[in-house]
Structure 1
Amino acid sequence: MSPEPQHFLDGRRILLVEDDPIMGESLAQRLAIEGAKVRWLSNGSEALRHFSHAAPELVICDIRLPDMSGEEVFRKLADGGASAPFLFITAFGDIDQAVRLTRAGAGDYMAKPFQMDTFLGRVKSLIRSRADETGAPVLGGTPEMLRIEAMLRRLASSPATVLLTGETGTGKEVAARFLHAVSPQARKPFIAVNCAAIPNDLLESEIFGHERGAFTGADRRHLGYAERAQDGVLFLDEIGELPDRLQAKLLRLIEERSFSRLGGEAILPLRARLLAATNRDLEQAAREGRFRADLYYRLAVVSVDLPPLRERRDDIPWLAGQFFDASLDRDRNILRGFSSLAIEAALAHDWPGNIRELRNRVERAVALAPGEWIMPADLFPQRRGDASAQADAGTLSAARDAAERRRIESALRETGGHVGATARLLGISRTTLWERMRRLGIHAAQ
């Protein structure tokens, strides 16, 4: 086994629930020294309230808490869909309970007192297993996108049909390709079909194929997408646009895992895994009779909803950087990156076209930006010379205030609203933080 990296816990999000101030501070400080981002809470109610915001990779929890037991915290979070492993800290008399919780899927437990090195070893073991599952972020770094990415990784080895939903441009095909790339069939074909882009009279032939003479103009056998996908993935995009007649055929394809080419009698097996995507509310369409309910339930064995970009603004700089690197020709471009004003403008934009719009704007800016840095007008050329748009964008001072507000609010979320911890995280005094929060109209969580 290779040696543990020196900074293995760097950036790892850990939720510590411990009411003993001495032990809590000792564990929080040591984990922070190891590089972890620690949120220390003293009771179960706070842990339940802050869990969704913290999106921790590990929960370290005392079994005996002042308002409820650690077991209650674990079971309530598990019932709510949380999957982060728990490391329980327990007194000798609670060991039987800790063992029962471990068998229920908690992760591990440690009996007090314990050596700090042993404790860190257990933490790293649980974090390592979590890291092996999730890997480095690919779809985004916000808690919601990390949760979606972890779910897709878990689905990768399953044959279950997956329905990806979300607005146009949110990256449904990217998510489908990611799922395929981390699956055991990654080297097999990925066949994408846009059901809205192919004329209805040709769509059946394109999906299922046809034999020679099946219809006028069919002068040779044609293999459809279902056959060409082989042992890989058949991805049906814009599945909500599928005509009624083909909805019935697709239902039979899913149920029987077999099909025939148009004009043919041979029964061919469907070997590929089926993924589908839509920007429509198929559940509502099924209730209203605009989409087959039985097909909807077959498609939505697992449903994954991708949030719009305006709801995951913290991903905008990261995504913009990805698209910048992909578009840049370093032999021809003198560009060094995005100016702070360009990032501020991007963060203020609502992105109705979502990730697709961001990619297109970055590619255009890389191609046409005249200077070393991409400026707001390079991303949003329609604003150039528009006084009202420039007024909306605000002054440099306003842009700085907006950036400072976001950083403070992010730090407050990381520390659960604890002003002293937030000040330490930001490297400023508590008095300075209070003054800036007052000036920017920021209120600490109660």
Structure 2
Amino acid sequence: MQPDPARIGLVEDDPVMGGSIVQRLELEGWRVTWWQSGRDAISGIEGISDALDLVICDIRLPDISGEVVFNELANLPNSPPFMFVTSQGEIDQAVRLMRSGAVDFMTKPFAMDEFLRRIDAGRRTTHSQLRLKGYFLGESTAIQHAEDLLRRYAGHDLPVLIAGETGSGKEVAARLLHEVSPRSAEPFIAVNCAAIPAELLESEIFGHEKGAFTGAQQRHLGYAERAGKGTLFLDEIGDMPMPLQAKLLRLIEDGSFNRVGGEAPCKFRARVVSATHRDLAQRGGSSGFREDLYFRLAVLPVTIPPLRERHEDIPWLLGRFLENAVSRSDVRIRGFSALAQEAALTYPWPGNVRELRNRVERAVALSTSEWIMPGDLFPERAVKSGNTTFAPLADVRDAAERRQIERALDETGGQIAKAAGLLAVSRTTLWEKMTRLGLADRARSTS
């Protein structure tokens, strides 16, 4: 008996399955309220939402779908976390619900012990509790949404596909997924499919037997085998040669593979997480990527947005990379000057987070003062005179304009016409400046 039993809401129309779940949960010491239709569940949950630790909801109900139940209750002040029960044909819908805020889903049929473990994890995974852990990838709404998805995906063994531009932080996201998963004590093996020559990639991933080819003087264990029960991360999966894609599909479908030159199949026990900067959905068939493999890899998708779409993360990333760089050097740097921060906020960051990290590390290595100046971050844009570095007036102007526009948008709730009035410019002029400074997403669609 648990000292603090959870209160579970169950929405299940099947009397046999519902009764079995209720009986087992109550044996575990949990209190269960059971509804057998979606409308009854909505009425019942509205009255006790703040008392429920978790709602377990079947997607297919006799009157309305579980998705409707979830959507109608999502805006309650104390909306409980939802975990869905699905059939194989409803996995896409379940993934969509997780992207909308559901904490988990289970596919029928399932083992009761695993079901109980996921219930216990799910009832603790509310959005506020995720925030208490502290976000690892950034502070913007966009990146926190991506991180929430990764944390929800962590308890599943299904493949995850991480999409995003080069340098946006896909491998960091994959490592986070591994660290918060039940596999965290097992290996995390990263493979850059674009960095290994095509003729060697099969041997590197699947391994080879002694004598499999010229120079194979002993058995070699590939990344798939060395990953054990951990995570096999396939970066730049879109660059994998077509013949090897078929073998990867077998690895995922059958959970087995053959070393090059080997006859006996090897058991694959790791989870596959892949990443790409390409739009694989548009590259199916003759265009270079197998459509069936894409759908297997993208069961649980997540996109890491580029840095230009999440300016709120720039100060956070500057601080984090500065701390890391200073800890590895003997220099004493107190921080970034206000002008350096403004220059970073107005820069488009074509190389994304990777470029920002590299610029900070270079600035720390070359800085001659306790404060990093714009010229330290962007030496190609700076002019030196004696010991003083001057920022281009255009950068200073952009920084000042950005600051004023942001204040006006905050004051008017993003309404362009009102903000333009406060700034004494036309609406067209303001919109052009917002577009140039990367502030277009701050406008309200109704303005």
The TM-score normalised by the length of structure 2 is 0.65
SS state at 1:87 partner:
coil
Give the direction of change, closer, same or farther, for the CA distance of 1:374–1:253 in structure 2 (3 Å limit): same
Instruction: Say whether the 8 Å CA contact 1:163–1:299 is kept in structure 2.
Output: yes
Quote how far apart the aligned CAs of 1:178 are.
0.5
In 2: Cα distance, 1:77 partner to 1:346 partner: 44
- Structure 1 vs Structure 2: percent identity of aligned residues? 51
Quote how far apart the aligned CAs of 1:346 are.
0.7
In 2: Cα distance, 1:217 partner to 1:75 partner: 57
SS state at 1:274 partner:
strand
Length, aligned pairs only: 323
What is residue 179 of structure 2 aligned with on the other side? Answer: 181
Give the direction of change, closer, same or farther, for the CA distance of 1:149–1:266 in structure 2 (3 Å limit): same
Q: Does 1:399 align with 2:389?
A: no
* Paired letter, 2:409: E
Instruction: Say whether the 8 Å CA contact 1:405–1:440 is kept in structure 2.
Output: no
In 1: Cα distance, 2:218 partner to 2:137 partner: 42
Quote how far apart the aligned CAs of 1:243 are.
0.5
Q: Does 1:86 align with 2:76?
A: yes
Quote how far apart the aligned CAs of 1:231 are.
0.6
Alignment partner of 1:245 out of 243, 246, 256: 243
Quote how far apart the aligned CAs of 1:83 are.
9.6
Flag structure 2 segments of 5+ consecutive residues without an equivalent: 1-49, 51-65, 80-100, 104-122, 432-442
In 1: Cα distance, 2:169 partner to 2:346 partner: 21
* Paired letter, 2:165: E
SS state at 1:154 partner:
helix
In 2: Cα distance, 1:357 partner to 1:439 partner: 35
Quote how far apart the aligned CAs of 1:409 are.
2.6
User: What does residue range 30-45 of structure 1 map to in structure 2 within 5 Å?
Assistant: none
Instruction: Say whether the 8 Å CA contact 2:209–2:218 is kept in structure 1.
Output: yes
What is residue 260 of structure 1 aligned with on the other side? Answer: 258
Give the direction of change, closer, same or farther, for the CA distance of 1:338–1:439 in structure 2 (3 Å limit): farther
Instruction: Say whether the 8 Å CA contact 1:205–1:262 is kept in structure 2.
Output: yes
Q: Does 1:311 align with 2:301?
A: no
Alignment partner of 1:385 out of 360, 370, 383: 383
Instruction: Say whether the 8 Å CA contact 1:156–1:179 is kept in structure 2.
Output: yes
User: What does residue range 266-285 of structure 1 map to in structure 2 within 5 Å?
Assistant: 266-285=264-283
Quote how far apart the aligned CAs of 1:142 are.
1.0
Instruction: Say whether the 8 Å CA contact 2:189–2:232 is kept in structure 1.
Output: yes
In 2: Cα distance, 1:171 partner to 1:304 partner: 12
SS state at 1:187 partner:
coil
What is residue 128 of structure 2 aligned with on the other side? Answer: 131
Quote how far apart the aligned CAs of 1:140 are.
1.1
What is residue 327 of structure 1 aligned with on the other side? Answer: 325
Give the direction of change, closer, same or farther, for the CA distance of 1:137–1:392 in structure 2 (3 Å limit): same
Instruction: Say whether the 8 Å CA contact 1:240–1:278 is kept in structure 2.
Output: yes
What is residue 358 of structure 2 aligned with on the other side? Answer: 360
Alignment partner of 1:351 out of 349, 352, 364: 349
User: What does residue range 135-174 of structure 1 map to in structure 2 within 5 Å?
Assistant: 135-174=133-172
In 1: Cα distance, 2:314 partner to 2:191 partner: 28
In 2: Cα distance, 1:289 partner to 1:203 partner: 20
User: What does residue range 52-71 of structure 1 map to in structure 2 within 5 Å?
Assistant: none
* Paired letter, 1:144: A
Give the direction of change, closer, same or farther, for the CA distance of 1:77–1:137 in structure 2 (3 Å limit): farther
Give the direction of change, closer, same or farther, for the CA distance of 1:325–1:410 in structure 2 (3 Å limit): farther
In 2: Cα distance, 1:208 partner to 1:382 partner: 45
What is residue 341 of structure 1 aligned with on the other side? Answer: 339
SS state at 1:86 partner:
coil
In 2: Cα distance, 1:393 partner to 1:171 partner: 27
What is residue 17 of structure 2 aligned with on the other side? Answer: none
In 2: Cα distance, 1:226 partner to 1:330 partner: 33
Q: Does 1:376 align with 2:398?
A: no
SS state at 2:261 partner:
coil
In 1: Cα distance, 2:69 partner to 2:348 partner: 33
Quote how far apart the aligned CAs of 1:290 are.
1.8
Give the direction of change, closer, same or farther, for the CA distance of 1:344–1:293 in structure 2 (3 Å limit): same
Flag structure 1 segments of 5+ consecutive residues without an equivalent: 1-57, 59-73, 90-104, 108-125, 420-429
In 2: Cα distance, 1:86 partner to 1:233 partner: 37
What is residue 19 of structure 2 aligned with on the other side? Answer: none
* Paired letter, 1:342: A
Instruction: Say whether the 8 Å CA contact 1:323–1:362 is kept in structure 2.
Output: yes
What is residue 218 of structure 1 aligned with on the other side? Answer: 216
Higher mean alpha-carbon deviation, 320-329 vs 284-293, is at: 284-293
1:56-87 residue CA offsets vs partner (Å, 9 max, x unmatched): xx9xxxxxxxxxxxxxxx988965xx996622
In 1: Cα distance, 2:128 partner to 2:73 partner: 13
In 2: Cα distance, 1:306 partner to 1:140 partner: 11
